[in-house]
């Protein structure tokens, strides 16, 4: 393979191979290779650091826009390592001719999420490229946050842990799919795009020590569970009937041949906790979103794979996503 394909950005097998075989090799260091959602920097006391670029198309969608997603994405990546986001950078690449009101709208969305999440945008950068050299606007946010609980990450996954999901799945991916296919459904469904700082802080304040958390963005729930299975070397079992999928997302998946497990989310996360913390975790997740559920557990088996069981106890592998899932989902 000599050239970059869309699949290299899709969150599936091809992206993992690009990251593992090329990028990690070039920037060879232990912090990066831990491959958590944020880097944990020992040198600066309790500091976590994360980055994400956003190229979502369309830039405005039901339930959000590129500014909202840019703020939530990095705040959430910090939350996933148990860090409370404090400061964000905001770097924009703007296509010549973009109307200034659109720029203001998306930056206001970004600023509103930051205000609500008690996060300050403290540095930025503005580039403008000629017409046709980018598409309207791309936004990078990087963030620093304070780690509230140490050692949350794939290294802490272990057999016996319970796996919970903070919401129903597939709404962000469903909205983007619908907007590109001009469905009737479009007006009903809202992206799940939101900041997870509040719910994660609530879990930690309640004394829960999550083992590992991951927001189910590109590649969806399936990508997260498969990454966890590979990283831990353990087998994960989840129950189909415990994973909530709303009717609109189910409908879009049936029409277009997608699996809801592979659709992106932008405010929904997976969390593994010790069995003794599972009930309390579920209560707190449900107080933020009634569609939260306990979906499965990590088995005492070194098979490094994900099994999904349906209501009739029939089991199949939940394969990692592959191919061109959906370009420019975030």
Spell out a b/e string for 125-151, using b for 16 or more CB atoms within 10 Å of the CB, else e.
eeeeeeeeebebbbbbbbbbbebbeee
Sheet order of strands, 137-147 included:
39-41, 47-54, 137-147, 83-95, 120-129
From the list 118-126, 174-182, 203-211, 246-254, the region that binds a copy of itself by CB under 8 A is 118-126
- Rule CB under 8 A: say whether 299 interacts with a copy of itself: no
Residue from 58, 60, 89, 190 in contact with a copy of itself (CB under 8 A): 89
Q: What is the DSSP string of 115-138?
A: HHTT-EEEEEEEEEE-TTSS-SEE
- Rule CB under 8 A: say whether 59 interacts with a copy of itself: no
Burial of 195 (0-12, 13-18, 19+ CB in 10 A): buried
Structure tokens at 98: 């973009």
- Rule CB under 8 A: say whether 133 interacts with a copy of itself: yes
Q: Which is nearer to a copy of itself, 100 or 276 (CB)?
A: 100
From the list 104-112, 246-254, 268-276, 305-313, the region that binds a copy of itself by CB under 8 A is 104-112
- Rule CB under 8 A: say whether 53 interacts with a copy of itself: yes
Q: Which is nearer to a copy of itself, 24 or 288 (CB)?
A: 24
From the list 131-139, 167-175, 239-247, 277-285, the region that binds a copy of itself by CB under 8 A is 131-139
Q: Which is nearer to a copy of itself, 122 or 206 (CB)?
A: 122
Binding marks (x or -) toward a copy of itself, 190..229, rule CB under 8 A?
Answer: ----------------------------------------
136-175: contacts with a copy of itself (CB under 8 A): 138, 140, 142, 144, 146
What is the dihedral angle through the alpha carbons of 205, 207, 211, 217, rounded to the nearest 10 degrees? -30
Total interface residues for a copy of itself by CB under 8 A: 79
- Rule CB under 8 A: say whether 128 interacts with a copy of itself: yes
Residue from 66, 93, 189, 249 in contact with a copy of itself (CB under 8 A): 93
Spell out a b/e string for 28-57, using b for 16 or more CB atoms within 10 Å of the CB, else e.
eeeeeeeebbbbbeeeeeebbbbebebbbb
Report the alpha-carbon distance of residue 231 to residue 218 in Å, rounded: 18
- Rule CB under 8 A: say whether 118 interacts with a copy of itself: no
Report the alpha-carbon distance of residue 45 to residue 292 in Å, rounded: 33
Smallest CA-to-CA distance from 114 within 72, 158, 80 is with 72
- Cβ 151 to a copy of itself shortest distance, Å: 17
């Amino acid at each position: 393979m000599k050239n970059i394909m869309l699949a290299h950005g899709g969150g599936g097998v091809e992206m993992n191979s690009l990251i593992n075989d090329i990028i990690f090799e070039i920037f060879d260091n232990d912090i990066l290779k831990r491959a958590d959602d944020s880097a944990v920097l020992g040198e600066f006391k309790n500091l976590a650091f994360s980055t994400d670029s956003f190229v979502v198309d369309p830039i405005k969608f039901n339930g959000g826009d590129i500014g909202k997603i840019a703020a939530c994405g990095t705040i959430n990546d910090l939350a996933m390592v148990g860090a409370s986001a404090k400061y964000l950078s905001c770097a924009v690449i703007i296509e010549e001719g973009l109307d200034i009101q659109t720029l203001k709208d998306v930056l206001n969305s970004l600023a509103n999420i930051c205000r609500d999440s008690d996060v300050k945008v403290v540095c930025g950068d503005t580039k403008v490229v000629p017409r046709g050299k980018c598409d309207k606007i791309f936004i990078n946010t990087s963030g620093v946050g304070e780690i509230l609980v140490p050692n949350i990450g794939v290294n802490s996954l272990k057999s016996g842990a319970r796996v919970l999901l903070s919401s129903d799945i597939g709404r962000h991916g469903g909205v983007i799919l619908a907007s590109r296919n001009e469905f009737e459904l479009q007006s009903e469904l809202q992206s799940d795009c939101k900041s997870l700082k509040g719910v994660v802080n609530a879990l930690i304040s309640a004394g829960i020590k999550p083992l590992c958390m991951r927001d189910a963005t590109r590649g969806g729930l399936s990508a997260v569970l498969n990454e966890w299975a590979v990283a831990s070397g353990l087998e994960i079992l989840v129950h189909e009937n415990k994973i909530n999928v709303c009717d609109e997302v189910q409908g879009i998946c049936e029409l277009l041949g997608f699996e809801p497990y592979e659709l992106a989310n932008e405010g929904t996360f997976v969390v593994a906790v010790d069995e003794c913390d599972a009930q309390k975790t579920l209560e707190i997740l449900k107080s933020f979103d009634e569609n939260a559920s306990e979906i499965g557990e990590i088995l005492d088996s070194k098979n490094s794979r994900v099994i999904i069981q349906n209501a009739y106890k029939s089991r199949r592998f939940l394969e990692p996503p592959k191919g061109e899932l959906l370009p420019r989902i975030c």
